[in-house]
């Protein structure tokens, strides 16, 4: 069962094609088109949300296919050992590796790396394979890899791979090419974000980041070219969440939190991220916690060293508000298949 806030359908077209018969258009490879429509299951926006807010993937995503492979399996049983064993196969199977690159990460929290549906058509427009993911008890949103690419690295390191399985009926004719391949995946986005800065200094005073969450800087030490911190946070999970990890998990009927802490950065006296200045090297961080009846306590720790980055001076929290789950629909055309 999908969450009630799957508020719109995003259609991304990656090459020259027509996305709908009533709205023909031509697009060159690499262009992206968005078409949005209201979801009949969408909930009424809560207080503080903009009912006209949209997240336009043309400003955030670029995608294409990277490779395609084919394999055939067949099995025979020894009748002396397995007298009732029927021959299996030949069974064709293909797999396609897609890449989705992040042009602009603003507003994007994560996506489900497992496609929710896959469709492939042969050169004559016949369905070669069609599949839909089974309803899951939990929806897992993975942080896109391009968020963590150090400055100065080539763009290939920011590619996020999506793996599409394309099982083919054993009686189907091997296609000359795929005239059309579609897949969908869910993305988790936010309507707005803001930052809160607190001094990089140990204190005995709790600081409210957002209603329902406060933090206490238990340790904040600075040496020449080095720093270390330990920060305790306590919060009401019915009002806010702490998402400073590589993924977000939502149960079947669970809606995303209205507000959350997404990121913690250490800044120098000039307001620059110490980690970014060092290209991400020589740093470590972690989060651990527990809770009872929605009252949660977590402890964040971190350390780093960078002689040219300047001393740690500020802790900057990034807060996000009004999360939405959207379904992204990707379409590719005229994909060749391997010969062997």
The string of DSSP codes covering 216-261 is EEEEEEEETTEEEEEEEEEEETTT-EE--SSEEEEETTPPPPSEEE
Asked which of 40-49, 90-99, 150-159, 264-273 is least confident by mean pLDDT, the reply is: 40-49
Task: Determine which of 92-96, 205-209, 259-263, 274-278 has the lowest per-residue pLDDT on average.
Answer: 274-278
Q: Are residues 160 and 229 in the same domain?
A: no
| pLDDT number for residue 288 | 59
How many other C-beta atoms are found inside a 10 Å radius of the C-beta of residue 44? 7
Would you give the DSSP letter of residue 28?
-
For range 77-103, the mean pLDDT: 87
- Report yes or no on 19 lying in a domain: yes
Residue 1 forms part of a structural domain = no
Q: Which among 206, 205, 199 is positioned nearest to 227, based on CA atoms?
A: 199
Q: Which two tokens stand for residue 119?
A: 């469709």
Contacts for 106 with CB less than 8 Å, ≥ 6 apart: 60, 193
The four Cα atoms 47, 48, 49, 53 give a dihedral, to 10 degrees, of: 150
Whether residues 33 and 164 fall in one domain: yes
pTM given for the model: 0.69
Mean pLDDT, residues 281-307: 72
**78 plus 175 within the same structural domain:** yes
E strands, 103-206, are: 108-111, 117-121, 127-132, 138-142, 160-168, 177-199
Give 133's Cβ-side CA count (13 Å radius).
Answer: 20
Per-residue pLDDT tens digits for 18-28? 222 222 222 22
- Give yes or no: residues 111 and 20 share one domain: yes
Is residue 132 domain-shared with residue 270, that is, in the same domain? no
Residue 175 placed within a domain: yes
Are residue 18 and residue 136 in the same domain, yes or no?
Answer: yes
What confidence tier does 11 reach under pLDDT thresholds 50, 70, 90? very low
Mean pLDDT of the residues in the chain? 75
Contact criterion met (CB below 8 Å) for 68 and 95:
yes
Report the pLDDT value the prediction gives residue 69, as an integer from 0 to 100: 92
Quick one: 112 and 182 in the same domain? yes
Report the C-alpha gap between 70 and 293 in whole angstroms.
Answer: 50
Q: The CATH number of the domain where 198 resides is what?
A: 2.60.40
Question: Which pLDDT belongs to residue 246?
Answer: 62
For residues 211 and 239, is the Cβ–Cβ distance under 8 A? Answer: yes
Total number of domains in the chain = 2
- 188: tokens are 């988790």
287 falls in which pLDDT band (50, 70, 90)? Answer: low
Same domain, 318 and 331: no
CB neighbourhood size of 320 (10 A): 24
Residue 293 in any domain: the answer is yes
Question: Does 291 reside within a domain?
Answer: yes
Q: Which residue has the higher pLDDT, 307 or 167?
A: 167
Tell whether 279 and 299 lie within a shared domain: yes
Q: Are residue 202 and residue 104 in the same domain, yes or no?
A: no
At 202, is the secondary structure helix, strand, or coil?
Answer: coil
Query: Residue 205: CA atoms inside 13 Å, Cβ hemisphere, count?
Result: 6
- Assess whether pLDDT exceeds 80 at residue 116: yes
Claim to verify: residue 215 and residue 121 sit in the same structural domain: no
Does residue 253 fall inside a structural domain? yes
Cβ atoms of 273 and 267 closer than 8 Å: yes
Between these two residues, 44 and 202, which has the higher pLDDT value?
202
Find the domain containing 310 and state its range: 192-324
* Residues 72 and 89: beta-carbon distance below 8 Å: yes
Convert the pLDDT of each residue in 180-210 to its tens digit.
998 888 888 989 889 999 999 999 999 999 8
> Do 135 and 85 fall within a single domain?
yes
Contact predicate 179/128, CB 8 Å? no
- The pLDDT, as a whole number, for residue 208 is 94
94 domain residue, yes or no:
yes
Best-predicted range by mean pLDDT (88-92, 130-134, 202-206, 260-264): 202-206
150 pLDDT band (50/70/90 cuts)? Answer: very low
Residue 237: pLDDT over 60: yes
């Amino acid at each position: 069962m999908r969450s009630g806030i799957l508020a719109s359908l995003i259609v991304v077209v990656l090459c020259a094609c027509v996305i709908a018969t009533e709205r023909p258009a031509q697009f060159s490879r690499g262009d992206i088109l968005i078409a949005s429509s209201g979801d009949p299951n969408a909930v009424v926006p809560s207080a503080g949300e903009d009912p006209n807010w949209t997240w336009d993937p043309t400003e955030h995503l670029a995608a294409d296919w990277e490779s395609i492979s084919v394999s055939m399996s067949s099995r025979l049983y020894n009748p002396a050992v397995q007298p009732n064993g029927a021959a299996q196969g030949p069974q064709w199977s293909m797999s396609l590796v897609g890449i989705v690159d992040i042009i602009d990460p603003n507003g994007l929290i994560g996506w489900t790396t497992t496609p929710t549906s896959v469709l492939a058509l042969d050169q004559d427009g016949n369905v070669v394979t069609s599949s839909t993911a089974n309803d899951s008890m939990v929806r897992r949103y993975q942080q896109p890899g391009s968020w963590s690419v150090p400055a100065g690295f080539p763009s290939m390191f920011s590619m996020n791979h999506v793996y599409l399985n394309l099982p083919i009926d054993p009686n189907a004719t091997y296609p000359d090419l795929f005239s059309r391949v579609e897949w969908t995946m869910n993305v988790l986005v936010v309507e707005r974000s803001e930052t809160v800065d607190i001094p990089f200094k140990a204190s005995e005073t709790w600081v409210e980041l957002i209603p329902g969450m406060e933090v206490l800087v238990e340790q904040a030490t600075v040496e020449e070219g080095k720093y270390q911190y330990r920060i305790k946070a306590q919060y009401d999970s019915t009002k806010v969440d702490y998402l400073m990890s590589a993924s977000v998990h939502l149960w079947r009927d669970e809606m995303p939190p209205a507000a959350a802490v997404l990121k913690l950065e250490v800044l120098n006296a000039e307001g620059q991220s110490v980690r970014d200045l060092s290209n991400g090297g020589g740093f470590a961080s972690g989060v651990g916690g527990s809770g009872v009846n929605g009252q949660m306590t977590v402890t964040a720790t971190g350390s780093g060293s960078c002689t040219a980055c300047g001393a740690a001076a500020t802790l900057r929290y990034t807060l996000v508000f009004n999360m939405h789950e959207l379904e992204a629909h990707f379409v590719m055309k005229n994909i060749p298949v391997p010969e062997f």
